[in-house]
Structure 1
Amino acid sequence: MVLAGAAACLLWLAGPATTLAAEPIPDRLVVLTFDDAVASHYTVVRPVLKQYGFGATFFITEGFSFLTNKKDYLTWQQIAELHRDGFEIGNHTRDHLGVSSATLPRLKEQVEAINARCREFGIPTPTSFAYPGNAITPGALPILNELGITFARRGGAPEYPYEAGRGVAYEPSKDHPLLVPSAGDARPHWTLEDFKRAVGLARNGRIAVLQFHGVPDHEHPWVHTPPEQFKVYMAYLRD
């Protein structure tokens, strides 16, 4: 995943977690992540990130109504352009498959399907993964590792209930790289204070991984972020 600091300093998590943990991590270092391949990632999020020089990871799925609803979901041409812009393209499974012990037999196929689509459009095979619906199970880790995934982002549970969108910071020296927690999962009721609280967790060797969905998100209003509020958040990071 790509890290963006308050001064727009960008780092790539290209090496193993032990290497990252051995290097000093500055305070207020955050990761911007965007789930579900929502059209507003291209029309709203992209220009704001480019304005401030921030990096981000976009986790792509062909689930929901992706294949037919191009009003609300990205095209693969737009996803490829995000890649050419320098943003990371991550894997979110083909069908937005919730990862559980019951679905583990399908996980490899689901990840490989998005990998194949990425290659079809000139995008490198993703090495970052986000758990759909933030559901996790330990059995997924060896499968993701076999598929070349080096970082996998979860939500803020079990530390906090899903509904609040709260979470904890990522501590590379302690956390498994395939169970990277979200410091915050943006919600429509969030204010700048909620965003500041999540960003404020990025201190003392910890990194705040921020999870967004659509900006706006018409099909999933419970994880919608108003565009004007998103701009306020990004301006705060810049400052």
Structure 2
Amino acid sequence: MWYDKLNFYSREAGLNVIPESDFFSRSLSEEEIRLFPHLLELHPDFQDPAQFPVPAALHLPADLAQLLTFSNGGAVLNGEREFGYFSLQEIRYYYFAYGFPKYLPDFLPIAFNGGGIFYAYDFRNEGTLPIVAVASGNLSEEDTVVLGFSLAEVLSNPHNIEEDLDQLYPIRKLSDTEKALVRLRQELKTLNEDKNNGKVDLKTFLQTKKRIEAEMKAL
């Protein structure tokens, strides 16, 4: 199987029975509410299934079903890529506990990277099923990044998925003017600290301050 070469550092007993096709698209059951009463404390509006209906498209993908049959929940490590994947029931728990029906209803969380970032299937478009990374504290479509189109592809990559998310917000290089402003502000800050600590006399302080402010104004 495709997962035979994976480096499992945590394994569980395999899933014996594949659930019905609507397992993930069902609303919260009374049993789940009884087992996890805090779900409705976190999201009281989930009490009414009509308010945030779970999309019917959510289902158990074939590669995830194979993985869960081998180990129903577990952890895989490849270089810096950590994949702590959920059991079948945990997938439903995390879907509701983190408010996916409200914020990302068409995404099914299946694992954590060890740093609060979800791996999730994206069910928005029929015919394609990308696996994305999305931060657990920032659930929005704009803040997802595609990692691959199968678990085998995603888990073959050894770098941390946080690097993929970082590409959404590249660090902009400062212009020469901005660099000069940063330098002058730091110089002014140091000057004020030196004055307060008695390291510079008043005349020198005023002259230097005037020079810094003039340079800042000229930029």
TM-score, scaled relative to structure 2: 0.25
Bigger radius of gyration among the two: 2
Greater relative contact order (Cα < 8 A, sep 6+) = 1
Richer in helix (by share): 2
TM-score, scaled relative to structure 1: 0.24
